[in-house]
Amino acid sequence: MIQKPKGTYDVTKEQSETILYIEKLLKTVMDNYNYNYIRTPLFEASELFHRGVGETTDIVTKETYDFKDRGDRNMTLRPEGTAGVVRAFLENKMYADPDMPSKNWYYGPMYRYERPQKGRYRELYQFGVEVFGSSDPMMDAEVISIPVSIYKLLGLKGVKVKINSLGDKESREAYRNALLAYFKPHLDDLCDDCRERYQKNPLRILDCKVDADKDYMKKAPTTIEYLNEESKTFFENVQKYLDALGIDYEVDPSVVRGLDYYTHTVFEIEASIEGFGSQNVLCGGGRYDGLVEVIGDKKVPGVGFALGMERLLSALEFEKISLVEEKSLDVYVIPVGEEDKEEAFFYTQTLRMNGFTAETDYMNRNLKANFKQADRLNAKFLLILGEEERKAGIYTLKDNREKKEYKIDKEEIVDFLDTQIMEEEHE
């Protein structure tokens, strides 16, 4: 039997309802924040990710799905959302829009060839936000507030915001030089990847999982020690605005993020949930004032974040949070005999087009089996159509909750259900 590819998963019945609930919530939150939905292709020119994500990141060096198309062009399945949104921002000349900042959100699948584990897949779904045009630290605080708001609305309690600053270009360069000097005596002890990172981007050494527990890694210089005055002030203002929103956070110098394009603010939100394990980062992001220029030669500041649906679902599971109420059906339409199926089929569609959830029998069940099926579907009403009902134009409607039975003219069924169901839902 053909099976799904390694590192992917199927979404079925129960989980699908949870995901649809979350997706609806995400759109509602984004509407409230006045962000616009943006969608970019699943694949882009490989150069975009090499330029944007960075040549020294694990995503680019080890994890991308690369291929040549029939035009012999190097293409890559998108491993993350930011680079594609930046490309779209530039290509569609969104920087010329007078309504700035440009506030965008996206949601969709990403692809990374990595070792699959719980909450970590090769096909993963990400929700993210990218804002262009504002260099105000208030914008950083707003972006951080978005996932905090989402997790709060979902009922997650064990979440922790961690923030840090990489500073501006000058501060980051000073920190880079400090890391080069610090790690030089330890070069022979570093893993092969980190020895390569030392030459290209020593900041990436701090993300190493192989050498993480070594004593000298824990004593490495921190970014905050090398911030110039301007960067310190920027970071202090971010904290001021977070305080204004009442968001609890922790300044954690170990938060550096794994992508090359970050400047100033970086942040992660962790889940402190019993049994959740070490892969507990729910989302991360930060400011990337140089990225738009790297990709498209326009000096436009940016800030954003991304969160993974798989980690979120796992966190909800560990906190035993159920988002979806038991499904119910407004009306289950039962044809008594074969000659009643056409009428039942037509009236089922009529009910649907009038805003009711409706279903009918497609399995040729007998009357008793259809009553059981209606119970399984948690149907509020049963509409029974037999020869007598068809000829008289008077249908039998049973209230499956109150166990009452009504005989109603077929032209009045919709109005009757409106009063019984629609008004009930608005109470």
Ordered per-residue pLDDT tens for the chain, 427 residues: 999 999 999 999 879 999 999 999 999 999 999 999 999 999 999 999 887 676 555 556 568 999 999 999 999 999 999 999 999 999 999 999 999 999 999 999 999 998 887 778 999 999 999 999 999 999 999 999 999 999 999 999 888 999 999 999 899 889 889 988 888 888 888 888 888 888 778 887 887 777 777 878 888 899 999 999 999 999 999 999 999 999 999 999 988 865 666 889 999 999 888 777 666 889 999 999 989 998 988 999 999 999 999 999 999 998 999 998 888 999 999 999 999 999 999 999 999 999 999 999 999 999 999 999 999 999 999 999 999 888 898 999 999 988 899 999 989 999 999 988 765 654 5
* 304 three-class SS: strand
Q: Say which DSSP state 410 is in.
A: G
From the candidate CATH numbers 3.40.50.800, 1.10.1060.10, 3.40.50.300, 3.30.465.10, the one assigned to the domain spanning 329-425: 3.40.50.800
Q: What is d(CA 78, CA 40) in angstroms, rounded to the nearest whole number?
A: 9
pTM of the model: 0.89
The CATH 3.40.50.800 domain(s) of the chain lie at: 329-425
Query: Between 3.40.630.30, 3.30.930.10, 3.10.129.10, 1.10.1270.20, what CATH number should domain 13-168+228-318 receive?
Result: 3.30.930.10
257: left (phi over 0), alpha (psi -120 to 50) or beta: left
- Is 107:26 a contact under the CB 8 Å cutoff? yes
> CATH 3.30.930.10 in the chain, residues?
13-168+228-318
pLDDT at 69: 95
Residue 307 bridge partners (DSSP): 127, 283
Query: Backbone phi, then psi, for 150, in 5-degree steps?
Result: -60, -50
- Tokens of residue 149, six digits: 């708001």
DSSP states of 188-246: GGS-HHHHHHHHH-GGGGGG-SSSTTSHHHHT---GGGG--HHHHHHHHHHHHHHHHTT
Q: Are 127 and 309 in contact (CB under 8 A)?
A: yes
The length of the chain in residues reads: 427
Instruction: Give, as one character, the DSSP assignment of residue 87.
Output: H
Q: Are strands 123-132 and 302-308 parallel, antiparallel or unpaired?
A: antiparallel
Distance of CA 363 to the CA centre of its chain: 38
Q: Are 234 and 130 in contact (CB under 8 A)?
A: no
Identify the pLDDT of residue 166. Answer: 93
Residue 184, SS3? helix
